[in-house]
Amino acid sequence: MTTTKVVLRFPPELSDQPVTYKLIKEYDLMVNILRGHITPQEEGMLVLELTGKKRQLDRGIHYLNKLGVETEKLSKDVRWLKDLCTHCAACTSLCPTHALSVERDTMLVSFEKARCIACEMCVTVCPYNAMEVQF
């Protein structure tokens, strides 16, 4: 079994396609939706964690691409170096998936790794180098 994280980008005309259903039913994949933003008639984005046999994963990705859905595998990982973080929150408004957020009660920043799509926005903006890319 192989597990991979994939970012899917949908053009507006495909935003109503039941792609997760098909990946499960026809390609025998386990699908974990990490993050999604799909609005009818607009571009959509889904971050999926896919688990299955390598061949089935490849076939599932091929199906998506053939349909017109752009796919990008997450081969990088972004790490939060908690000890360097000053909780300045400069990164939280830029993070597109809310992987970085401020807890209202404590005003402390937290990082939810499962939501991260490794876009590196936080890496660019953090003045304390508390976000790091790992290859």
Q: Is 117 in the site for ligand SF4 (CB under 6 A)?
A: yes
Judged by CB under 6 A, the residue of 39, 91, 106, 114 near ligand SF4 is 91
Other Cβ atoms less than 10 A from the Cβ of 68: the count is 11
Min dist CB 79 to ligand SF4, Å, is 10
Nearer to ligand SF4, 20 or 110 (CB): 110
Terminal Cα distance for the chain, rounded: 22
- Maximal CA-CA distance, the chain: 47
Coil vs helix vs strand at 103: strand
What Å distances lie between residue 118 and 19, 26, 44, CA to CA? 23, 29, 17
Instruction: Rule CB under 6 A: say whether 103 interacts with ligand SF4.
Output: no
* Residue 26 or 120 with smaller CB distance to ligand SF4: 120
Contacting ligand SF4 within 21-80 (CB under 6 A): 78
DSSP label of 21: H
Judged by beta carbon, residue 1 or residue 107, the one nearer ligand SF4 is 107
